[in-house]
Amino acid sequence: MPSPAPLHRTIHCCLLGLLAVVFALATPQARGEDSEQLDHFENHIRPLLLERCSECHGEALQENGLRLDSRGALIQGGQRGAAVVPGNAEASLLYRVVSGKEEDLTMPPEGKPLSADEQEYVARWIRQGAHWSETQPPASTTPLDRMAEIHRTHWAYQPITAPALPKHAPSEWPRNTIDHFVLARLEAAGLEPAPEADRRILIRRAYFDLIGLPPSYEEVEAFVADERENAYELLIERLLVRPEYGQRWGRHWLDVARYSDTRGHTN
């Protein structure tokens, strides 16, 4: 009768041999499928994410709290929820926005949209499980998670300090602190300040800059005849309260927001 120790070793070796046979028989197809899916990811998905998405949804910037540079971040999603539901492309926000199926949101927001082939690549990748070919970093790296670091490093949270004035040749031209910086850059470029504009030129510049319209003859003559030291400052204040100022600058913001009185296809 064999001793217990040799018997245990025999059983152990048999189990290892059986597992090796099962692994050898069961894994080639799985390894082949994984390899095909990872090749698809590397050839079609990763380049799309890097080229079309990383600028707004990468390590440096995460608009709407969304990162697209890791599988965990895709599944976690942002303010609108998960970007990818592995196995279900139609339920995945990423596929819906790049294919135009999301009515209020289309990605990329500017530039050339994804082609039909590229949209199908994304759909196929998600349906096959959204495979990713490398170990993923923690997904919880949105700006909210990094707020302490942002408070320490972002320029908007730094205390206001007065920079040292740049050195330049002695001059009576600067009238305020900013003028010293302007004069230093002019000298570095081998340039000199332009001659001071007279009042007729100043009022036209102010009108065109602030309200986009020329001053009338009477307005020009009144400004030229105004001998007060703060005449120009008073002119600017009058222009800032005119409705044309709001119309001119409000138009720029409305253009950015793509404002229209209609939705294009309705009256």
CB atoms within 10 A of CB 183: 20
Ranges 30-34, 155-159, 186-190: which has the least confidence: 30-34
Residue 191 has pLDDT above 90, yes or no: yes
pTM: 0.40
Max avg pLDDT among 117-121, 133-137, 204-208:
204-208
Rama region for 211: left / alpha / beta (φ>0; ψ in -120 to 50; rest): alpha
pLDDT band, residue 264 (cuts 50/70/90): low
What is the C-alpha separation between 133 and 34, in angstroms, rounded?
10
Output the pLDDT for position 230: 94
Percent of residues, the chain, with pLDDT higher than 70: 79
In this prediction, residue 111 carries a pLDDT of 64
